[in-house]
Amino acid sequence: MDNIIEAKDIYLAYDNQANIIKNASFSMKEGEVIVITGVSGSGKSTLMKALYGSIDIINGSLKVMGSELYKTDKFRIRAIRQNIGIVFQDYKLINDYNVEDNVALPLSIQGYKKAFCKKQAKNLLAHVNLALKAKRYPLELSGGEQQRIGVARAISHNPKIILADEPTGNLDEYSSSIIWDLFQRASIELKACVVVVTHTLPSELYDFNYRRLHLEDGVLNEIY
């Protein structure tokens, strides 16, 4: 089976500054879950940006869904991004869209009918316990609520890849377990590749199969 994500000896840096990530390699097949840990500032978010084509690698090879990202044109990048669901560390919700429209954004971008978008958004909001806030606006909600909207948006379009940057950072244990549950289901039911950057690993009690990578001093190591 082909790798959905394949990073070989990649180097990452912001325009001509020192390398933030050096010589990192890893690959993922469909349905796999990877958890990335590392102290603040170690480059976890930077690695995520590379995975959705927001920054280019300096060196090495990074293939997502079979395409070498830095070589592909914007049309292919768009097509790949439509198959990715991203949860951003700073949420990145659209403040003048209501909650429902935020969740349905990836679907509406892909041209799905309004009624279908609404139905899917309602469905997901119910999963993250926000069904009652569908018509509210992001700035009227708490950080934890915004974060859950970000998660709902990231899985609304049944993506092949989910990239979540500290998705449980602002959540209590109960809400976190809901999010982990959603990711696990996405990996099993949708065969999605799930990459989660986190400080808090899923509870030991929780039956969850995942690989763990650790970032330290620019080096990425697979721990288990």
Ligand X SMILES: Nc1ncnc2c1ncn2[C@@H]1O[C@H](COP(=O)(O)OP(=O)(O)O)[C@@H](O)[C@H]1O
Q: Which residues bind ligand X (CB under 6 A)?
A: 14, 20, 38, 40-46
Give the Cα separation of 214 and 198 in Å (integer).
10
Q: How far is the CB of 2 from ligand X (least distance, A)?
A: 28
Q: Does 113 bind other proteins (CB under 8 A)?
A: no
Q: DSSP 3-state assignment of 32?
A: coil
Q: Does 63 bind other proteins (CB under 8 A)?
A: no
Q: Among 95, 56, 65, 59, which residue's Cα sits nearest to residue 161?
A: 65
Q: How far is the CB of 223 from other proteins (least distance, A)?
A: 29
**200 CB contacts (<8 Å, ≥6 apart)?**
168, 176
Q: Does 86 bind other proteins (CB under 8 A)?
A: yes
Q: DSSP 3-state assignment of 189?
A: helix
Measured from the CB atom, the residue of 23 and 89 that comes closer to Mg ion is: 89
Q: Among 166, 162, 152, which residue's Cα sits nearest to residue 190?
A: 162
Measured from the CB atom, the residue of 105 and 201 that comes closer to other proteins is: 105
Q: Does 15 bind other proteins (CB under 8 A)?
A: no
Give the Cα separation of 48 and 185 in Å (integer).
21
Stretch that binds other proteins, among 56-64, 74-82, 125-133, 141-149 (CB under 8 A): 74-82
Span 60-119, contacts to Mg ion by CB under 5 A? 89
Q: Does 96 bind other proteins (CB under 8 A)?
A: yes
Among 45, 102, 108, 146, binds Mg ion (CB under 5 A): 45
Partner from other proteins, Mg ion, ligand X, none binding residue 81, C-beta < 5-8 Å depending on class? other proteins
Q: DSSP 3-state assignment of 119?
A: helix
Give the Cα separation of 64 and 51 in Å (integer).
7
**CB-count exposure of residue 190 (10 Å: 0-12, 13-18, 19+):** middle
Q: How far is the CB of 105 from ligand X (least distance, A)?
A: 23
Positions touching other proteins (CB under 8 A) are 52, 54, 74, 77-84, 86, 92-94, 96-97, 105-106, 109-110
